[in-house]
Chain A
Amino acid sequence: MSDAILPRQGKTAHLTRPGLAARLLSVWRDANWIQRIALLVAVLLVIAAIFAPLIAPHEPTAQSLIARLRPPVGFDRFKAGYLLGTDELGRDVLSRCIYGLQLTLTLAMLGACIGLALGGSLGLAAGIFGGVADDIIMGMVDSQIAIPFTLIALLMLAIFGSSIEVMVLILGVYGWEQYARIVRGEVRKLMQMPFIEAARAAGATGYRIAFRHVLPNIVSPLVVQFTLSISNIVLLESTLSFLGIGVQPPTATLGSMVGIGRDYMPTAPWIVVAPAVMILLVTFAVQILGDWLRDRADVRLRDR
């Protein structure tokens, strides 16, 4: 196509993008120590979640009546092999935390992807078609912003019952309006640009303009929103599970472990503390990484 008028590769070695390894290295060099720790924690958490069956010392649901309510390592009555102690049914707290982390992160990723697809395509439609479609979609966005999502989640859980599928649905819908707003705003800005007009003049279809010309230009705000939304989704999921209306036992997420362990707080606080610290690690890491991405994506914020 238009390659002919561009200089051949090889002659433009200084213009080609550096390899992935080099880029990762430069990202690492730019980071401050907090961001480096967050990155390491995030990588460790993801690895732990993916390889949960290999890492966890016990089955998450394996009960042991003789090893109930044992404290973590370093306390009296510690039982070897149960690093973070055991819960009221003699289940290994560490193993349950790792499996809980796996489910929490899986739900968060699924939810964030669904939200991105749903909100992104609605925002794209609103921005490209404008007119009535824009009015309807933005009206929906306004209504969604006006009502706290926790209420919708409570309503949906009461009606459809608590199950993993319903949780994925709820977490997927959560935050769609943010994507829709961002995408619509960016698209409307882009549609004024000369290169879109040029594409249209060249006979490109609306579909082609949307996916080949507009979408690549709005990737960076979307990546930032995606990262930050994972933190919000983890919060919502663990809150609902904590309240006992999210994921149901014996399946555990970090939130439901805190919720159930609450009853044993005076005598066995480790049942609560371990998953609570795990939740904090996840939200901290994701928030720091999201903020970092936003700073890198937005030059205007550099000075702050």
Chain B
Amino acid sequence: MLAHVARTLVKSAVTLFVIATLVFLATRLSGNPIDFVIGEGITQEDRELLTSYYGLDASAWTQYLRFLGSFLDGQFGLSFVERRPVSEIVAERVWPSLQLLMSGIGFTLLVSIPLGIIAAIYRKSWIGSAILTFAFIGYAVPNFVLAIFMVLVFSFTLNWLPVVGSSTPWHFIMPTIALSGILVAAMTRFTRNAMLDVLSQDYMRTARAKGLPEHVVILKHGFRNASITILSVLGLQIAGLAAAGNVVIEAIFSWPGIGDLLVTAAIQRDYPVLQFAVLAVAFAVVLVNAVIDTAYAYADPRIRLGAA
């Protein structure tokens, strides 16, 4: 178990290092960012002044070491646009993003796991195929298209829900559903398949032969074993899908989170903000994956008790 945790940590650290280096290379390869941001109409002196102000006049190696050092002292530079510390700008955005993400993942689990279990139990009847069709359709609907149609119907036609902002619980409904659409579809399919694998096992027949009530057989013997597979998928798929979904959904609903910040920074070419926000999200995704990987190892007695 300890060895497994150590290996996971090392792997995560290597991944983060690779990502950080790539981000650094990408932003530096494209030349002096000052030229992009300020553009023309700037004197040579001002250009040099700005270049040295943002520390862009040092050699590539010095800049790279300084960049890596910024992870240790927490100084990630100033935003080109807002002239404020990047870490401050990103920090303000974390909580709204987290709220939306938790709301989305909570909704996903609440809907997809029961649906997946039911679809597995009734796989031969119309209920099973109805759920499967629903999941299939959901998987093919891009989340921004879902969001647009919801806004058209519930905001502009029926006037039920607000479009922009995040202040009341009503504001959460459409972004949460739009964010969860593809996740619900994917998780329903995964839950169903994981349950199908488990339901055909011999120990399920044994549990029934013992005379246990059906819901105990399904939930305790079936779902608990399937949950290990579901857990691993949750980490691998959800973290990535949710991070990508957050970008679009936040931009549509003007949600004051990191996704909205990423898009704005990309349009304004605010490199320090973009760089730090990308790293922050990547860090979060890698961290979540590491935690889930560890939980996965803990849930599997072969790894927890074994030497591996």
Contact A148 B285 (CB under 8 A): yes
User: What is the bound-complex CA distance between A239 and B142, given in angstroms?
Assistant: 8
Residue of A nearest to B133 (CB): A34
B99-107, B149-157, B220-228: which one contacts chain A? B149-157
A63-71, A202-210, A211-219, A280-288: which one contacts chain B? A280-288
Contact A155 B23 (CB under 8 A): yes
Of A148, A149, A262, which is within 8 A of B148 by CB?
A262
Residue of A nearest to B33 (CB): A159
Known A239-B142, A258-B148, A284-B140; judge A139-B281 contact (CB<8 A).
Answer: no
Contact A146 B15 (CB under 8 A): yes
Known A147-B19, A276-B149; judge A283-B243 contact (CB<8 A).
Answer: no
User: What is the bound-complex CA distance between A159 and B275, given in angstroms?
Assistant: 11
Residue of A nearest to B290 (CB): A146
User: What is the bound-complex CA distance between A262 and B164, given in angstroms?
Assistant: 13
What 0/1 pattern do residues 237 to 250 of A give for CB contact below 8 A with B? Answer: 01100111100000
B interface residues, how many (CB within 8 angstroms) = 51
Q: In this assembly, does B131 line the interface, its C-beta being within 8 Å of a C-beta of chain A?
A: no
User: What is the bound-complex CA distance between A269 and B149, given in angstroms?
Assistant: 10
Q: In this assembly, does B81 line the interface, its C-beta being within 8 Å of a C-beta of chain A?
A: no
Q: In this assembly, does B218 line the interface, its C-beta being within 8 Å of a C-beta of chain A?
A: no
Find chain B residues with CB under 8 A from A286 CB: 140
Chain B: minimal CB distance from A57 (Å) = 25
Give the most central of A155, A245, A283: most B CB within 10 Å: A155
Find chain B residues with CB under 8 A from A148 CB: 239-241, 243-244, 281-282, 285
B71-79, B166-174, B266-274: which one contacts chain A? B266-274
Find chain A residues with CB under 8 A from B15 CB: 142-143, 146-147
Contact A154 B263 (CB under 8 A): yes
Q: In this assembly, does B199 line the interface, its C-beta being within 8 Å of a C-beta of chain A?
A: no
Known A243-B251, A283-B140; judge A143-B18 contact (CB<8 A).
Answer: yes
Q: In this assembly, does B289 line the interface, its C-beta being within 8 Å of a C-beta of chain A?
A: yes
Known A143-B18, A148-B285, A272-B152; judge A242-B144 contact (CB<8 A).
Answer: yes
Q: In this assembly, does B183 line the interface, its C-beta being within 8 Å of a C-beta of chain A?
A: no
Contact B148 A276 (CB under 8 A): yes
Q: In this assembly, does A21 line the interface, its C-beta being within 8 Å of a C-beta of chain B?
A: no
Of B149, B244, B248, which is within 8 A of A242 by CB?
B248
Contact A239 B248 (CB under 8 A): yes
Of B27, B142, B263, which is within 8 A of A283 by CB?
B142
Find chain B residues with CB under 8 A from A143 CB: 14-15, 18-19
Chain B: minimal CB distance from A222 (Å) = 21
Q: In this assembly, does B136 line the interface, its C-beta being within 8 Å of a C-beta of chain A?
A: yes
Q: In this assembly, does A295 line the interface, its C-beta being within 8 Å of a C-beta of chain B?
A: no
Residue of B nearest to A276 (CB): B145
Residue of A nearest to B239 (CB): A148
Q: In this assembly, does B265 line the interface, its C-beta being within 8 Å of a C-beta of chain A?
A: yes
Find chain A residues with CB under 8 A from B236 CB: 145
Q: In this assembly, does B278 line the interface, its C-beta being within 8 Å of a C-beta of chain A?
A: yes
Q: In this assembly, does A191 line the interface, its C-beta being within 8 Å of a C-beta of chain B?
A: no
A residues sitting closer than 8 Å to B (CB atoms) are 139, 142-143, 145-151, 154-160, 231, 235, 238-239, 242-245, 255, 258, 262, 265-266, 269, 272-273, 276, 279-280, 283-284, 286-288, 291, 304
Can you list 18 pairs linking A and B with CB atoms under 8 Å apart?
A146-B285, A146-B286, A151-B243, A151-B278, A151-B281, A154-B274, A155-B266, A158-B267, A159-B27, A238-B144, A239-B144, A243-B247, A258-B145, A265-B151, A273-B152, A280-B141, A288-B136, A304-B193
The list of the 8 closest CB pairs from A to B, nearest first, reads A150-B244, A148-B243, A158-B266, A287-B140, A283-B140, A159-B30, A154-B266, A148-B240
**Extra contacts besides A238-B142, A244-B267 (13): CB < 8 Å:** A146-B15, A148-B239, A151-B243, A154-B266, A154-B278, A155-B26, A158-B265, A239-B142, A243-B251, A265-B151, A265-B156, A280-B145, A291-B136
